[in-house]
């Protein structure tokens, strides 16, 4: 089977150093495996998006000479696919409406215990849609980090696939899109290790072959906080990409020879594809928390 990988940024702000690391890691892993590398804009959550960010992200990738294969896919244009799947599951009792509030769930111990599973709520307004969990996944193998364990209560939870405010949940959209795009391996930041179990549950539910996973180390700021668009990580330099590219590659474990570091950007990337080595990746992982 040929390798298909992807980079799937959410356009909540411009590309910052942490997302460049995810872009590069997924790019090198795809190219080192002779594969294709797709880009998908995960514009699922308009209130958290910044106008123009998607375009800016794509421009930044181009300025770093990270050219993707095929057309860019936008999740905002794929609601029908997500909704059709939800409706099919609602009809077959594999998903159900839930009107519990976050506060109520917190009062009951923090994990949702299936309160609305048999209530037959028919009112889609003011309801979230939850998956009736059939295939809890309590561990999976990560290519760099080995076995990742997921707390059983979290693995068993009937998680939300469509939010009460009508937005589709990230876990649902990401899995339906990865399947639809034929993605064979998911490479992304370690902040998404925890939802991976839920995503594998969805593959099982859909009777689809599982993909492999590689979670990259997270770039943090001086206080150990994850760099994210939400905490205003600064946009990376788009006019002079090489210094930032080299820093991001060093972060991914590369030891870049001087003659390569002073070469044109395409040669640096080509050297990166040839010298990409998972054993050099720092194996720092974010802890999985119980809530």
Cβ neighbors of 116 (< 8 A, separation 6 or more) are: 96, 97, 98, 99, 100, 130
13 scored as a contact of ligand GLU (CB under 6 A): no
11 scored as a contact of ligand GLU (CB under 6 A): no
Smaller CB separation from ligand GLU, 98 or 248:
248
- Cβ contacts of 231-237, under 8 Å, gap ≥ 24: 232/13, 233/13, 233/16, 233/17, 233/18, 234/16, 234/17, 235/13, 235/14, 235/15, 235/16, 235/56, 235/60, 236/14, 236/15, 236/16, 236/17, 236/20, 236/60
Q: Alpha-carbon distance 150 to 28, whole Å?
A: 28
Mark the segment that binds ligand GLU (CB under 6 A) among 2-10, 127-135, 160-168, 251-259. 2-10
Say whether 54 counts as a known binding-site residue: no
Among 54, 86, 155, 174, binds ligand GLU (CB under 6 A): 174
User: What are the φ and ψ backbone dihedral angles of 133, each rounded to 5 degrees?
Assistant: -65, 115
- Nearest CA among 183, 157, 181, 153 for reference residue 169: 157
Query: Which residues from 41-80 bind ligand GLU, rule CB under 6 A?
Result: 42
Say whether 9 counts as a known binding-site residue: yes
Smaller CB separation from ligand GLU, 23 or 246:
23
Cβ neighbors of 61 (< 8 A, separation 6 or more) are: 7, 15, 23, 39, 67, 68
Q: Alpha-carbon distance 249 to 275, whole Å?
A: 11
8 scored as a contact of ligand GLU (CB under 6 A): yes
Smaller CB separation from ligand GLU, 52 or 110:
52
Say whether 153 counts as a known binding-site residue: no
Assigned token pair, 10: 């959410």
Say whether 229 counts as a known binding-site residue: yes
Among 10, 127, 171, 201, binds ligand GLU (CB under 6 A): 10
Smaller CB separation from ligand GLU, 98 or 161:
161
Say whether 273 counts as a known binding-site residue: no
CB of 174 to ligand GLU, least distance (A): 5
**Binding-site size, ligand GLU (CB under 6 A):** 7
Mark the segment that binds ligand GLU (CB under 6 A) among 5-13, 57-65, 214-222, 258-266. 5-13
197 scored as a contact of ligand GLU (CB under 6 A): no
What residue has token string 């996944």? 137
Query: Exposed (0-12), middle (13-18) or buried (19+): which is 94, by Cβ within 10 Å?
Result: middle
- Nearest CA among 285, 80, 115 for reference residue 191: 285
CB of 134 to ligand GLU, least distance (A): 22
Smaller CB separation from ligand GLU, 137 or 192:
192
DSSP letter for 167, please.
P
Mark the segment that binds ligand GLU (CB under 6 A) among 8-16, 113-121, 235-243, 283-291. 8-16
Among 31, 130, 164, 188, binds ligand GLU (CB under 6 A): 188
Give the residue ranges of the annotated binding site for Zn(2+): 98, 100, 112, 116
> Which residues contact ligand GLU by CB under 6 A?
8-10, 42, 174, 188, 192
């Amino acid at each position: 089977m040929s390798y298909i990988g992807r980079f799937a940024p959410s356009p909540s702000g411009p590309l910052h150093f942490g997302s460049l690391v995810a872009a590069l890691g997924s790019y090198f892993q795809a190219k080192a495996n002779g594969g294709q590398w797709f880009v998908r804009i995960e514009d699922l959550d308009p209130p958290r998006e910044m106008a123009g960010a998607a375009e800016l992200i794509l421009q930044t990738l181009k300025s770093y000479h990270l050219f993707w294969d095929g057309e860019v896919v936008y999740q905002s244009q794929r609601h029908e696919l997500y909704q059709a799947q939800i409706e099919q599951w609602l009809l077959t009792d594999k998903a159900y409406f839930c009107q519990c509030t976050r506060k109520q769930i917190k009062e009951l111990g923090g994990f949702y215990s299936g309160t609305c599973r048999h209530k037959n709520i028919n009112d889609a307004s003011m309801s979230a849609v939850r998956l009736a969990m059939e295939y809890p996944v309590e561990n999976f193998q990560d290519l760099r980090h080995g076995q990742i364990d997921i707390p059983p209560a979290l693995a068993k939870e009937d998680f939300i696939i469509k939010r009460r405010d009508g937005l589709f949940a990230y876990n649902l959209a990401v899995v339906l899109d990865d399947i639809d795009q034929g993605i064979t391996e998911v490479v992304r930041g370690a902040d998404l290790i925890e939802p991976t179990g839920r995503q594998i549950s969805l593959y099982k539910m859909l009777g689809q072959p599982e993909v492999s996973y590689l979670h990259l180390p997270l770039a943090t700021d001086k206080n150990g906080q994850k760099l994210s668009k939400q905490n205003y990580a600064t946009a990376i330099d788009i006019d002079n990409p090489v210094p930032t590219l080299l820093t991001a590659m060093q972060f991914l474990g590369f030891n870049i020879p001087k003659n390569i570091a002073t070469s044109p950007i395409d040669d640096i990337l080509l050297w990166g594809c040839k010298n990409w080595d998972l054993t050099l990746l720092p194996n720092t992982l974010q802890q999985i928390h119980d809530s």
